[in-house]
Chain A
Amino acid sequence: MSRILQDRDERRPETHPLTFRLNDDGTPVMLDAYREQQGYASVERAFSDLTSKTLIDELKTANLRGRGGGGFSAGLKWSLTMQGEGIPRGYIVCNADEMEPGTFKDRLLLEQQPHLLIEGMILAGFANNAYQGYIFMRGEYVDAARTVQRALEEARAAGWLGRDVAGSGWDFDIALHTGAGRYICGEETALINSLEGKRANPRAKPPFPGQSGAWGKPTVVNNVETLCNVPSVVLHGADWYQGLSQGKSGDGGTKLYGVSGKVKRPGLWELPMGTTGNELMERAGGMRDGHTLKTWLPGGGSTGFLLPEHLELALDFDTIGNAGSRLGTGLIAVVADDQSVVSLARNLEEFFSRESCGWCTPCRDGLPWSVKLLQALEAGEGERGDIDLLESLAVDLGPGRTFCAHAPGAAMPMASAIHYFRDEFERGVTRGQGKAHADPIPVGSV
């Protein structure tokens, strides 16, 4: 049910590799229509012209960076996958567990263009010497699961999956795995545990999944949108792909950008990587009447708040990183001037607190504590020292203190909210220093 808000006339094969095939009415592009529009041509090219190494080199040069929010070079990740004599063939896992607050892009690709993902996964399997792929999809994406399952059957029947893929002598198949909730499943090592039928606690790294992942075999985990970019890189080459960003960014390609919140036209657009926040807001029609923009999150609940003046920045990994936030998933959420940043921070920390898997102490205990403090500030019952305490919690939740990025992701919006809107937090302080500070270890859950 996601919709791309660009007409077919605008979405050209030369400029919109992710969405040019999409139907204006939102119905899925199934195999026949997909084949008629360059579908699976990249697999044919890979089998005839490329090796694992040359494909990965092409991807590195293209500078395709992970679209799940991390921004790590996909080519570099693939180059680190263990393969060679004596090393078992492993797995390609597509992370389709889209749950980052404010993110609704993978849903579009899964619901409307499942073969693009399958094509990308075949290329990933070929490059990483995998024999099996899994699409790990969140359980709530019911329509997407049906469409992807149908597409897998179509691809198998047409010889793109299974034994001897397209007459190449190489075997590769893909299975759909649907989840049963929990945000933490989107963390790549937690996802692997969940795939194995375990509780979704992250794993200690190293070993990295590319060395020892699912069932101890080399495993590559990539986001849906990342994998959907691979076919066009392979078909048209790294230079062409680099050119898609039109000099707006050092990163290659296009990005599925989106806007949510109180704008006139919330939605999704495929635009050159490095498109500015202002251009995106223009597409979204600006704020709804009667509202002005106070602040915004550039790419999900685990990214830091930015100010209206930051909308002039290019929405790419380095630029937004240099501004003190993260590009994340690149779908921005806007906050209007009559909306409380303290309340939103409380909502975000409630989310992260509930979704913590509980493995690491700072995350398990620190997040409920931050919720307690934020609830007090929101209710105008905060105590002197509460804001400093939140800032110190944000440090304790920061990078390097937990096994995964859940806690650092929770700390970022909280710390940046205080940084830019300290006065709003201060308005919630009405009491002297009291019980919260005398009793620093909260008991019980939120």
Chain B
Amino acid sequence: MTHASTSTSAPIATDGFVLHDEDRAAIAHERKHYPHPQAASIEALKIVQKRHGWVPDAAIEAIARELGVPPASVEGVATFYSLIFRQPVGRHVILICDSSSCFLTDYEALRDAFFAHLGIGFGQTTPDDRFTLLPVCCLGACDRGPALMIGDDTYGPVTPEEIPTLLEGYA
């Protein structure tokens, strides 16, 4: 491997951002799956996001150094993928499937009910930082449309009336 490895040195501080030791270990583990460290970029971003909720600028730099790849390539990846968040999100991200089968099973009514219930639109976070709402590509739950995810949990079919009860489980 021609890329400089920093995994044996002290944790890197970048603009006050320090990669957590556990995260460095997790990133090092992912790297081993690939012939080139750049391939672990997406996993690294997901690992950092899991801890912090989102990926701040300084984390991009830290991941780039950890992997020995240019920050621009990590940033390029971070801004391309829809599930990497480059600004703070709420404690729970709600992904509402907006694709055709859910559309055919009344997704738009469900979406509008979420907007009304939470008082926010897509791309926004509730003032108490509890929920962020985002649309998502077909969730592969078309037999249960309209479907959505809250964090790691998938639900469907969901009716507008069920929203308050559904959200109770997410503090």
Contacts and interface: CB of A to CB of B under 8 A. Distances in A.
A333 B138 contact: no
A199 B76 contact: yes
Contacts of B144: 1, 266
Contacts of B120: none
30 contacts: A1-B141, A98-B140, A101-B137, A101-B138, A101-B142, A103-B140, A107-B141, A134-B33, A140-B83, A140-B139, A177-B43, A179-B81, A179-B83, A180-B82, A180-B83, A181-B81, A181-B82, A181-B136, A182-B137, A196-B39, A197-B77, A198-B77, A260-B105, A260-B142, A266-B143, A267-B143, A333-B104, A333-B142, A347-B100, A351-B98
Most chain B CB inside 10 Å of its own CB: which residue of A139, A180, A261: A180
A115 B145 CA distance: 28
A100 B138 contact: yes
Interface string A329-350: 0010111100100011001101
B73 A348 contact: no
Contact of A261 (B36, B76, B101, B139): B101
Contacts of B46: 139, 178, 180
Contact of A348 (B34, B38, B100, B140): B100
B142 A103 contact: yes
The list of the 10 closest CB pairs from A to B, nearest first, reads A181-B82, A260-B142, A180-B81, A101-B99, A181-B83, A197-B41, A197-B38, A175-B33, A266-B143, A260-B101
A106 B104 contact: no
Interface residues of A, number: 59
B136 A196 contact: no
Contact of A351 (B33, B83, B137): B137
Nearest to A288: B105
A297 interface: yes
Contacts of A182: 80-82, 137
Contacts of B80: 182, 199-200, 357
Interface of B: 33-36, 38-43, 45-46, 69, 73, 76-77, 80-84, 95, 98-101, 103-105, 136-145, 149, 152, 154
Given A134-B33, A180-B42, A180-B82, 10 more contacts: A1-B141, A101-B100, A101-B137, A138-B140, A179-B83, A182-B82, A182-B137, A197-B42, A267-B143, A351-B100
Contacts of B139: 140
B140 A106 contact: yes
Contacts of A183: 137-138
A2 B141 CA distance: 7
B44 to A, nearest CB: 9
A210 to B, nearest CB: 18
Contacts of A397: none
Given A103-B140, A107-B140, A198-B73, A344 B103 contact: yes
Interface in A98-147: 98-104, 106-107, 134, 138-143
Nearest to B84: A180
Most chain A CB inside 10 Å of its own CB: which residue of B41, B46, B82, B152: B82
A429 interface: no
Contact of B142 (A175, A181, A331): A331
A163 to B, nearest CB: 15
Given A100-B138, A260-B145, A180 B104 contact: no
Contacts of A138: 140
A299 to B, nearest CB: 12
Given A103-B142, A104-B142, A140-B149, A197 B81 contact: no
Contact of A258 (B45, B82, B143): B143
B143 A2 contact: yes
Contacts of B69: 197
A197 B137 contact: no
Contacts of A348: 100
A103 B138 CA distance: 8
Contacts of B81: 179-182, 200
A334 B104 CA distance: 8
A355 interface: yes
Given A197-B41, A198-B73, A333 B98 contact: no
B104 A262 contact: yes
Contacts of B34: 175, 196-197
A134 B43 CA distance: 14
A181 B137 contact: yes
Given A140-B149, A179-B42, A179-B81, A344 B143 contact: no
A268 interface: yes
